[in-house]
Amino acid sequence: MTSNSLKKPEKSLPFHWYYDPKVFQKEIDKIFNDEWIYVCHINSIEKNHYRTLNINNKNIVLVKSKSENISVFYNTCLHRGSQIFEDQEGKMKSPVIVCPYHQWSYDAMSGSLINTTSIKLNNFDKKNYNLQKVNFHIWKGLVFINLKSNKKFKIQSIFQYYDKTVEKIDLENYAVGHIWKKKVQCNWKIYWENYSECLHCPNIHPELSELVPLYQRRLVDIQDHPEWEILKKTKSHTKYHGGLKNGAQTWSSDGTSQGHTIEEVQSELESRGQVYISTWPTMFLGIYGDHIRIVRLIPINSEEVELTAEWLFPESTLADRDYKMSNVVDFGILVMNQDARISEVNQRGVYNLGESSGVLMPEEYIIKNFHKYIKNKIRK
């Protein structure tokens, strides 16, 4: 089998693409307003609660009823355009949505206009002033939205990197144990690129590279090396075969899973250590020995991105009072903070040589595919 690695140097995107507002607006228009955007795991929102999400200047609200039904609307009253929900999330006071300005009221599930506070007006048809729905789809408990009302959710085209291992897991029944957010002062593409290679791993992630010996070789996959088949046959060390270091069971501060596992995929995890799927532009999901971590990226502007991470566990794991979730969460936050810091360093350097481009090395084949995706989308 051939290796994954690039066979020749490839130009990166021009440096100004990482801060130019005009390029960023094209990305919003052609990518974020066109693709399926990950919102959250369904169980991260309590019954009878709501959550809002900003995508550039568009504000979306997701409402979960007492019966756990979901509706998604633009967060805008159809009277004179007021924002309805001011907080990022909160509890619904009733099954009726009330605008804080003139108190127009809407059904929280259908979005239908119930009442206005004005004098009765002839020829006013309430059906024309319902909340505007947002196209959404729930896949295995993961909520996605699309700002195009007629776009269909097709799993084969949603994920650029997909592993069928995820199909063995009933993600919709997992509990969300922890949510973490962070704003990073870098272009959204820089953080994606950082996630897509491991050339930086030994110096930026010493703890992670100890846990996953392959990363000490600056590789994401054993097949990234041109001689991977020979090395796998002739070398016995884990760093030539993939997987976690000897004795480790999951991505955690001490490498232990505290007696808990994701049983459905344990054989895959024992040989590989972790399993990933990802969908550009907003989400990657990692399956580890005892938990799942989902990371969402939403750009704030051309030089800032917000990260949101959700840690998912089987309910039986969280029901164990002796299980220390911090063992997993703290390690994940350590790695993401390390990535955030170096991504900000990367961002500060791109301004000096705006029209120039960098170069992609053999191990950065995923970044090449990412750049091809960006170019194809914004040039449509």
Taking the CA atoms of 208, 209, 211 and 214 in sequence, report the sign of the dihedral they define.
positive
Q: Amino acid letter at 203?
A: N
Structure tokens at 305: 């991105």
Question: Are 136 and 143 within 8 A, CB to CB?
Answer: yes
Vertex 145 angle, CA 140 and 151, to 5°: 100
pLDDT for residue 1: 64
Ranges of residues in the chain with a pLDDT under 70 are 1
Distance CA 379, CA 276 (A): 29
pLDDT in tens, 49-81: 999 999 878 999 999 999 999 999 999 999 999
214 contacts: CB under 8 Å, gap ≥ 6: 198, 220, 221, 222, 238, 239, 240, 242, 243, 273
pLDDT in tens, 88-101: 999 999 999 999 99
Q: For residues 372, 377, 379 and 380, what is the CA-based torsion angle, rounded to 10 degrees?
A: 130
C-alpha R_g of the chain: 23
pLDDT for residue 349: 97
Name beta bridge partners: 37.
145
Q: To the nearest 5 percent, what fractions of the chain are helix, strand and coil?
A: 35, 25, 40
Per-residue burial over 189-227, b = 16 or more CB atoms within 10 Å of its CB, e = otherwise: bbbbbbbbbbbbbeebbeebbebbbbbbbbbbbbbbbee
Residue 212 DSSP symbol: S
pLDDT for residue 155: 87
N-terminal to C-terminal alpha carbon distance within the chain: 35
pLDDT for residue 226: 86
For the chain, the structural domain boundaries read 1-35+159-380, 37-152
Closest Cα partner for 108 from 129, 130, 123? 130
CATH architecture of the domain covering 1-35+159-380: Alpha-Beta Complex (3.90)
Count of Cβ atoms closer than 10 Å to residue 160 Cβ: 14
| CATH pick for 37-152 out of 3.40.50.1100, 2.60.300.12, 2.102.10.10, 2.50.20.10 | 2.102.10.10
pLDDT for residue 258: 97
Alpha carbons within 13 A on the beta-carbon side of 272: 16
* Site of tokens 């991505």: 251
Distance CA 217, CA 3 (A): 15
Structure tokens at 121: 């007006």
Name beta bridge partners: 98.
105
My answer on whether omega of the bond before 281 falls inside 30° of 0, hence cis, is yes
Give the three-class secondary structure for 307.
Answer: strand
Q: Rounded to whole angstroms, what are the CA distances from 225 to 52, 216, 221, 241, 365?
A: 44, 13, 8, 12, 12
Taking the CA atoms of 256, 258, 262 and 265 in sequence, report the sign of the dihedral they define.
positive
Q: Regarding beta strands 96-98 and 304-313, do their DSSP bridges make them parallel or antiparallel, or are they unpaired?
A: unpaired
Distance CA 12, CA 371 (A): 7
Question: Are 33 and 146 within 8 A, CB to CB?
Answer: no
Q: Which helix (H) or strand (E) holds 71?
A: strand 70-74
pLDDT for residue 264: 92
Vertex 223 angle, CA 218 and 225, to 5°: 55
**Per-position DSSP letters for 5-51, written without gaps between them:** S-SS-EEEEEGGGGT-HHHHHHHIIIIITTS-EEEEEGGGS-TTEEE
237 contacts: CB under 8 Å, gap ≥ 6: 213
